[in-house]
Amino acid sequence: MIAASASDNLVFYWQTIGTPTWNAEQVAGPKSIFGGPSVAQVGDTAVIAASTGDGSLMFYWQTIGTPNWNVEQVAGPQTTSNWGPCVARVG
């Protein structure tokens, strides 16, 4: 599950199956996203697509079980709309 906080932080929430505890990981800091992000699992990796305030398209990924999130800019300013991007597993 992912969410944008009140200050537009990108936060990833996860839970080990069979346990009651939810864990939160900050993926990106304040004012880093705009609109609704999208998340999917691709193999052993969690992937997130998100738009920024200037309309850039960002891609975040993390191998499951590792602590670090990676970020790549897919497209520059004013290339995305106010509708959040969508990411999906293919195959």
Can you give the three-state secondary structure of the chain, one letter per residue?
CEEECCCCCEEEEECCCCCCCCEEEEEECCCCCEEEEEEEEECCEEEEEEECCCCCEEEEEEECCCCCCEEEEEECCCCCCCCCCCCCCCC
Per-residue pLDDT of the chain (91 residues; tens, 9 = 90+): 555 555 668 888 888 899 999 989 889 888 777 778 889 998 999 999 988 888 889 999 999 889 899 999 998 888 877 667 888 777 6
pTM: 0.82
Q: What is the pLDDT of residue 46?
A: 92
At 59 the pLDDT is: 92
What confidence score (pLDDT) does residue 5 get?
53
